[in-house]
Every structure is written in C-alpha cells, then in structure tokens.
C-alpha cells in the first residue's frame, strides 16, 4: 500500500464513524495532504505553467479560480493524457470545461471518456460535461453514437443536452428515441423542451402520467416551453 492509499484509507476510517473535534481536524488535514499527494502525478506540469505566470498547488486551483487561463489549455490537454488517478482525471476535465478549450480539448477528452470503465458514472459525467463544452461540428457523429449507448447509463447527461445544440432533424429524432431509455429520459425531456420540439409533444404528453415524479414534472415543463 503506497502513501496515497494509506492516507485515503485513514480518511475513510474517519468518515465511517462519528468523529471527535480532533478527528475532524485530522480529516481536514488529510484532505490537504491527499490532494498534494495526488498532485505528484502531474508535478512536471507546474513549472510549465509557472513559465506563463500560473502558479498552482493542485489542478483544483484552476477549477476553482475565477481567472481565465487560455494560455494553459494546451498544457492541460497534454497532462490530461498522462494522469491516471480518477480524482486527477476529474480535475483536469473540469479545468478544461471552459470555452477557451473549445476546438482544442474534445479529441483528448473523448479518448479519456471511452477509456474509463462504464461503472464510473460520476467521472464519465464530468468528462462528458467537458466534451459538451469543447466539442465542435467534427465531433457530432461521435456524439450521436455515444448518447445512444445505453450501457453508459447516466454518465451521458451532459452529452444528451449537447445534442440539443445540434439543430438538425437527426438530433431531434435521437432525443425522442432517448425518451424510451430510463437512464437518459430526464436530460432528453429537458433537451426536447429546450428546442421546442413539436414532434415530441405527443410522447411528452404521455409521460405526464408517469409514476416517476421527476419525469412527470419535467415533461410538463417541456410541453409548456413547446406551447409558448
């Protein structure tokens, strides 16, 4: 067991039971130490960013900053393809979920998305969100295939919403088809409402009788948008 694994194990132990004040303080310190340990994986990136005036301790410093960092995008893409730890992959994906990465990062992000086991839905969702932000027209064929892969489950959420930005009949038909996919139905309904799909109205009306409260409410909202 390496140092990072030991730190993460101790953190899980603390989270699994009621904690004293001392243990809460230990947990907070562990969080910092764990993040610094994870950052070792991309330690070589830091001097590259320093050369362009960007100083970070971890990738999450970029995720949480309000400053723009267009000059860092190429470097982030390079190291995205090198990191392996799930938390680092998520951090790099979120750092690339910016308009400055549009047209640059989607190829690398798609490669990472496809390499991650499908049971890691939260991580794939974060990467899918980055793809949706950075994709261009050349990525649309991939997008249409990816959102229809039911084995990807809920990780497709933001990718499905990205389909709504593709103003074609094929995109509309795919969204309507996804209404039959229980793990895609909510973003599909929301997307059809966004594009005011009259073609989907009858199907959406049938969903207002759903026993699933979320489906029922989102279908009603979508119909209201279509009718207005």
CA 70 to chain centre: 20
Q: Is the pLDDT of residue 220 over 70?
A: yes
| Helical residues (DSSP H) of 56-168, grouped into ranges | 60-64, 73-80, 86-95, 106-115, 121-134, 140-147, 157-163
Q: What share of the chain is helix, strand, coil (3-state, %, to 5)?
A: 75, 0, 25
The token duo for 209 is 């009788």
User: Helix 121-134 vs helix 86-95: angle between axes, to the nearest 10 degrees?
Assistant: 20
Query: Mean pLDDT over all residues of the chain?
Result: 93
* 151-203 confidence digits (pLDDT tens): 999 999 999 999 999 999 999 999 999 999 999 999 999 999 999 999 999 99
Average pLDDT over residues 89-118: 97
Query: Can you give the pLDDT at residue 1?
Result: 67
């Amino acid at each position: 067991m390496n140092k990072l694994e030991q730190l993460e194990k101790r953190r899980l132990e603390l989270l699994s039971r009621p904690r004293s004040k001392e243990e809460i303080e230990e947990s907070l310190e562990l969080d910092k130490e764990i993040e610094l340990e994870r950052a070792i994986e991309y330690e070589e990136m830091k001097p590259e960013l320093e050369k362009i005036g960007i100083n970070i301790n971890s990738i999450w410093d970029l995720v949480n900053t309000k400053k723009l960092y267009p000059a860092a995008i190429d470097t982030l893409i390079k190291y995205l393809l090198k990191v392996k730890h799930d938390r680092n992959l998520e951090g790099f994906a979120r750092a690339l979920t910016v308009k400055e990465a549009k047209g640059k990062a989607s190829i690398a992000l798609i490669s990472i998305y496809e390499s991650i086991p499908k049971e890691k839905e939260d991580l794939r969702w974060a990467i899918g969100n980055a793809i949706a932000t950075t994709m261009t027209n050349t990525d649309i064929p991939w997008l249409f295939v990816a959102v229809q892969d039911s084995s990807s489950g809920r990780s497709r959420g933001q990718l499905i919403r990205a389909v709504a930005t593709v103003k074609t009949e094929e995109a509309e038909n795919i969204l309507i088809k996804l209404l039959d996919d229980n793990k895609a139905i909510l973003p599909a309904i929301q997307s059809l409402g966004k594009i005011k799909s009259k073609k989907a109205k009858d199907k959406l009306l049938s969903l207002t009788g759903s026993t699933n409260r979320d489906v029922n409410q989102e279908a009603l909202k979508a119909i209201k948008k279509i009718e207005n």
